[in-house]
């Protein structure tokens, strides 16, 4: 019992460290040593608990995959559904920026590890795709290419991040830092709905 608890703590410490480092330096750019140092545990424990660096990666997504990915949007109200999806995704991105970051890297480089993670992302994007189709059918959304529109929406959703790289360039305006979750969601929804030519009633 006590042993189990200790093990869980260590596993969690490793996962947290790996999440941070993978996002920062990529999977290949991160060493097991760095992970264990960051976690404050011995080098051997990654292999002991996970069976290798690669399995840490997979465990990361199993542990942190959000529940909303399994949610089924009704498609009866495409606008409402899209707003829900934007909100769900924005919240996940705010809660787990490193995971989004890492995922985006892996997608970009078509990593071999993607095979196992693909279903998770696909679930979300298939829903987005269905919502966009439904919205076009009801005449509420206007676009020509479904494929490209999914790209645009995903791009807008995923790229909105607090990267110091950007902030260097972009901080120097209205100084509206510390905006809350709801504000960010509104900005995102406004832009995307505009891109879909949805007219607010």
Partner DNA sequence: GTCTATACCTCGATAGAC
Partner DNA sequence: GTCTATCGAGGTATAGAC
Residue appearing with tokens 């750019």: 29
Q: Which residues contact 71 (CB under 8 A, 6 or more apart)?
A: 88
CA distance 54 to 198: 43
Q: Does 24 bind DNA (CB under 7 A)?
A: no
Quick note: the x/- pattern for a copy of itself over 38-77, rule CB under 8 A, is: ----------------------------------------
Comparison of 49 and 94: residue with beta carbon closer to a copy of itself: 94
Q: Does 149 bind a copy of itself (CB under 8 A)?
A: yes
Pick one of a copy of itself, DNA, none as the site partner of residue 42 (Cβ within 5 to 8 A by kind): DNA
149 in Cβ contact with 196 (< 8 Å): yes
3-state secondary structure 42-90: CCHHHHHHHCCHHHHHHHHHHHHCCHHHHCCCCCCCHHHHHHHHHHHHH
Pull the structure tokens for residue 160. Answer: 């909105």
Torsion over CA: 81, 152, 164, 102 (sign): positive
CA distance 105 to 127: 22
Q: Does 113 bind DNA (CB under 7 A)?
A: no
Q: Does 165 bind a copy of itself (CB under 8 A)?
A: yes
Range in contact with DNA (rule: CB under 7 A) among 25-33, 103-111, 153-161, 169-177: 25-33
Q: Does 44 bind DNA (CB under 7 A)?
A: yes
Which residues of the shown chain bind a copy of itself in the complex (CB under 8 A)? 23-29, 101, 104-105, 107-111, 114, 118, 122, 125-126, 129, 143-152, 154-161, 163-167, 169-171, 173-174, 176, 179, 184, 187-188, 190-192, 194-197
Which residues of the shown chain bind DNA in the complex (CB under 7 A)? 3-4, 6-7, 9-10, 30-34, 41-49, 51-54
């Amino acid at each position: 019992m006590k042993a189990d608890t200790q093990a869980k703590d260590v596993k969690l410490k490793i996962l947290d460290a790996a999440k941070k480092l993978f996002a920062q330096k990529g999977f290949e750019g991160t060493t097991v040593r760095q992970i264990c140092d960051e976690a404050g545990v011995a080098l051997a424990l990654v292999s002991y608990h996970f069976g290798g660096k690669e399995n840490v990666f997979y465990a990361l997504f199993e542990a942190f995959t959000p529940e909303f990915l399994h949610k089924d949007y009704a498609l009866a109200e495409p606008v409402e559904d899209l707003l829900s999806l934007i909100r769900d995704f924005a919240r996940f991105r705010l809660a787990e920026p490193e995971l989004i970051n890492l995922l985006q890297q892996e997608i970009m480089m078509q990593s071999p590890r993607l095979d196992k993670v693909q279903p998770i992302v696909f679930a979300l994007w298939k829903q987005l795709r269905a919502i966009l189709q439904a919205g076009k059918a009801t005449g509420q959304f206007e676009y020509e290419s479904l494929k490209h529109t999914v790209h645009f929406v995903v791009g807008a959703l995923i790229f909105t991040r607090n990267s110091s790289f950007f902030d260097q360039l972009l901080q120097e305006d209205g100084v509206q830092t510390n905006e809350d979750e709801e504000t960010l969601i509104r900005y995102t929804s406004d832009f995307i709905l505009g891109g879909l030519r949805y007219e607010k009633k």
